[in-house]
């Protein structure tokens, strides 16, 4: 279970998060919604160790993540995607292998020298990476340069790269932003399948309310860094504060 308690973040006079608390049950999808600037990406930065809160805690089970470095949090099983595409040059396989990096035991030197243990390990990583590519529907593009892919496929590479960490908790920052209708539907299906098959928890930041309503078990609404409402998608949809502040009703 991932527990966020009273997290507060300030940037030079601006309170980006103000006492944010929510809990993500194992195997559930928790959506974090709110207008632009509400603090959703900042919250992901706190969860992944890129940003230190001035108050509050983040715990994964019994382990406090709040002051750990990003690579340690990743190794403990929290993976994320970024709102903007961060995949580099190279093929889909190359990018997914990068996602595997923190799980690699043999150092780069051992791998470069092609020591037997390192070679065996790389082979196992590559086999697993191929399975993950299949899971998200990228197997046909396994050896394709990422830059040659459609936007939707490229966003799915980001998603697959996070999965390569074998996370228990997956943080998805606007996974369908910029996609067309068909790509959105496909990605939504893939997220649902991955969650069911791998049994991981998902924290989903997304503006596409159709997707949120379909995938989320629980929703937390942020407004100017403050938690505005919390509940099931149906409860949140009917919440008067949400209707007023967020949906503009």
Q: List interacting residues with Mg ion (CB under 5 A).
A: 40-41, 83
220 binds ligand ADP (CB under 6 A): no
36 binds ligand ADP (CB under 6 A): yes
Residue whose CB is less far from ligand ADP, 146 or 171: 171
Q: Give the single-character DSSP code of 7.
A: E
Nearest to 8 by CA among 67, 52, 47: 52
Q: What is the dihedral of CA 198, 3, 73, 105, to 10 degrees?
A: -40
Q: The dihedral of CA 142, 184, 135, 86: what is its sign?
A: positive
Residue whose CB is less far from Mg ion, 121 or 173: 173
Q: How far is the CB of 81 from Mg ion (least distance, A)?
A: 12
In sequence order, which ranges of 76-208 are alpha helices (DSSP H)?
Answer: 92-99, 108-112, 116-135, 151-163, 181-198
> 138 in helix, strand or coil?
coil
Of 29-37, 111-119, 163-171, 227-235, the window that binds ligand ADP (rule: CB under 6 A) is 29-37
> Is residue 71 exposed (0-12), middle (13-18) or buried (19+ Cβ within 10 Å)?
exposed
Residue whose CB is less far from ligand ADP, 42 or 81: 42
Residue whose CB is less far from ligand ADP, 30 or 100: 30
The binder of 16, among Mg ion, ligand ADP, none, by C-beta within 5 to 8 A per type, is ligand ADP
Where do contacts with ligand ADP occur on this chain (CB under 6 A)?
11, 14, 16, 34, 36-42
């Amino acid at each position: 279970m991932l527990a966020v308690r009273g997290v507060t973040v300030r940037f030079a006079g601006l309170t980006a998060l103000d006492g944010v608390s929510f809990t993500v049950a194992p195997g559930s999808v928790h959506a974090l919604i709110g207008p632009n600037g509400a603090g959703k990406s900042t919250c992901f930065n706190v969860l992944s160790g890129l940003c230190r809160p001035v108050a509050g805690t983040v715990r994964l089970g019994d382990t406090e993540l709040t002051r750990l470095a990003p690579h340690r949090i990743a190794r403990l099983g929290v993976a994320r995607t970024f709102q903007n595409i961060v995949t580099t040059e190279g093929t889909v396989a190359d990018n997914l292998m990068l996602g595997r990096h923190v799980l690699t035991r043999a150092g780069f030197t051992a791998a470069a020298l092609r020591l037997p243990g390192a070679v065996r390990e790389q082979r196992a990583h590559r086999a697993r990476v191929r399975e993950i590519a299949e899971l998200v529907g990228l197997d046909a593009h396994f050896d394709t340069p990422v830059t040659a892919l459609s936007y939707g496929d490229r966003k799915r590479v980001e998603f697959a790269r996070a999965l390569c960490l074998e996370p228990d908790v997956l943080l998805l920052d606007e996974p369908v932003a910029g996609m067309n209708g068909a790509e959105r539907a496909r990605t939504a299906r893939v997220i649902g399948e991955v969650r069911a098959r791998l049994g991981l928890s998902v924290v989903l930041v997304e503006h596409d309310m159709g997707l949120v309503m379909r995938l989320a078990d629980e929703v937390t609404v942020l407004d100017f860094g403050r938690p505005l409402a919390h509940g099931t998608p149906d409860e949140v949809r009917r919440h008067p504060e949400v209707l007023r502040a967020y949906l503009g009703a």
